[in-house]
Chain A
């Protein structure tokens, strides 16, 4: 167990809908990163949050947005869902930005868009 929990574990949505995925960081961790992993591929970086501010973003359109709350839990929101958004969404938390420490992952949310 990494102490990072994600909800829900599975989700089926219809194209065009909106979805919110949630991540609870390991205790004491203030940095959260989100990844999208398509079947058979490596995780692709979506964005990172540090102390409630976005700290970096990968090549994802603006309909992918996020939030980090004062307790450092986080949300990933995806608007106008497309079929290609079907993937495993992973969040990872780490102790402190720039401390060169491990990032621990949750079990992921499997999103299917139909």
Chain B
């Protein structure tokens, strides 16, 4: 599919562990944005990384972008039960500006 893949589909970890989620894409992007969604409500913006950037941090979150592999990863360090949510990457492709989501990763953090 045009949007690429996200993996894993689901991830279950213990509180305190790190969680890594991956996102791939197929064609050139302007940027890639990561979002969190709790219980089917609105999407909370986490980090935007532009195509000329390789790594960004925000608190316990670290996002990397490898344009040669057309992939990005989101690392959540020292996870908490409150991090339990669905995480989506959204790709803004060049030449169109619309932002395309994948199916997301469901993260479960056990206390």
Contact = CB atoms under 8 A, between A and B. Distances in A.
Interface in B19-43: 30-31, 33, 35, 40-43
A58 B31 CA distance: 19
A66 interface: no
A106 B42 contact: yes
Contacts of A103: 33, 45, 90, 99
B45 A102 contact: yes
Contact of B30 (A42, A92, A100, A108): A100
Q: Is chain B's binding surface mostly helix, strand, loop or mixed?
A: strand
B88 interface: yes
Interface stretch (B65-73, B76-84, B101-109): B101-109
Contacts, number: 63
A80 interface: no
Interface residues on A, range: 20 to 34
Interface in A49-99: 55-56, 58, 88, 90, 92, 97-98
A59 to B, nearest CB: 11
Given A42-B88, A105-B42, A108-B41, A55 B48 contact: no
B98 interface: yes
23 contacts: A2-B45, A33-B99, A37-B40, A42-B88, A42-B104, A45-B98, A45-B99, A56-B96, A88-B40, A90-B43, A92-B99, A98-B30, A100-B30, A100-B31, A100-B48, A101-B48, A102-B33, A102-B45, A103-B45, A105-B44, A106-B42, A108-B40, A108-B42
Interface of A: 2, 33, 35, 37, 39, 41-45, 48, 55-56, 58, 88, 90, 92, 97-98, 100-108, 110
